[in-house]
Amino acid sequence: MAKFKKIGVVADKRKEAQSALKTLCKKYSLTEITDIEQGKKMDVIVALGGDGFMLHTLHNYMNYDIPIYGINCGTIGFLMNEYKETNLKARLEKAGITEIHPLKMVATTTDGKKHEALAINEVSLLRATGQAVKIRISVDGKVQLKELVGDGVLVATAAGSTAYNSSVGGPALPLKSNLFALTPISAFRPRRWNGALLPHKTTIKFDIISSKKRPANAVADFTEVEDVSSVEVKEVRDKKISLLFDHGHSLEERIISEQFVY
């Protein structure tokens, strides 16, 4: 018996994704999803686009426990499966499930207001002007670094460790490592600090030193909060995101392979 009877599909606006949408809907009688309420009724959602579109789709359906199967119609396609017009329903039935948990960012602005957002890839703290930002870093309530001076710092999940984290020199983390990557961004002081690996159950706090003179912004994936004074980051265990991957091309395998790319 088929696991997925109601198959919905969402597509990026780019030409390649829209072309794939027409082809696959006609061939497999998929339901094109036009709003969140319609998508909630599906057993599985096929996302056509690139990694950025996939990230938006995962955020849209994070609260509904609906597995997402991405098909690459973009460039890199790290979170996606290969585009093929054949055997789509069989591929869905045979696909393996990867479950990940998001990060929760609580950012306090200099006027005392708190802003919450979720991140699948990373939470970043970035300088807002030409001056380097100064950040105090605490882990589970204990100050571990009194002052980091540089462009900023980020906390990446294992699933997001090969994205922005990797581009600023952070490590790729296997999904089953249960670790976060705490990675500086263009650190000036301490010059030789390369970051840290932290257990996924830890709570990380960033305090901005001299926030008026050296302002900073906080970003959870694509949600930005300006002029922050402090940021707290921790994993949200009660939210689960399910991604589907073809056999032999799981996210775990891709992350491992990424460490050998040169």
SS3 per-residue string spanning the chain: CCCCCCEEEEECCCHHHHHHHHHHHHHHCCEECCCHHHHCCCCEEEEEECHHHHHHHHHHCCCCCCCEEEEECCCCCCCCECCCCCCHHHHHHHCEEEEECCEEEEEEECCCCEEEEEECCEEEEEECCCCCEEEEEEECCEEEEEEEEEEEEEEECCCCCCCHHHHCCCCCCCHHHCEEEEEEEEEEECCCCCCEEEECCCCEEEEEECCCCCCEEEEECCEEECCEEEEEEEECCCCCEEEEECCCCCHHHHHHHHCCCC
Q: Name the token pair of 122.
A: 């990373």
Q: 51, 227, 238, 246: which one is catalytic?
A: 51
Q: Name the token pair of 106.
A: 């609580």
43 is catalytic: no
Instruction: Measure the CA–CA gap between 124 and 118, rounded to whole angstroms.
Output: 12
Residues labelled catalytic: 51
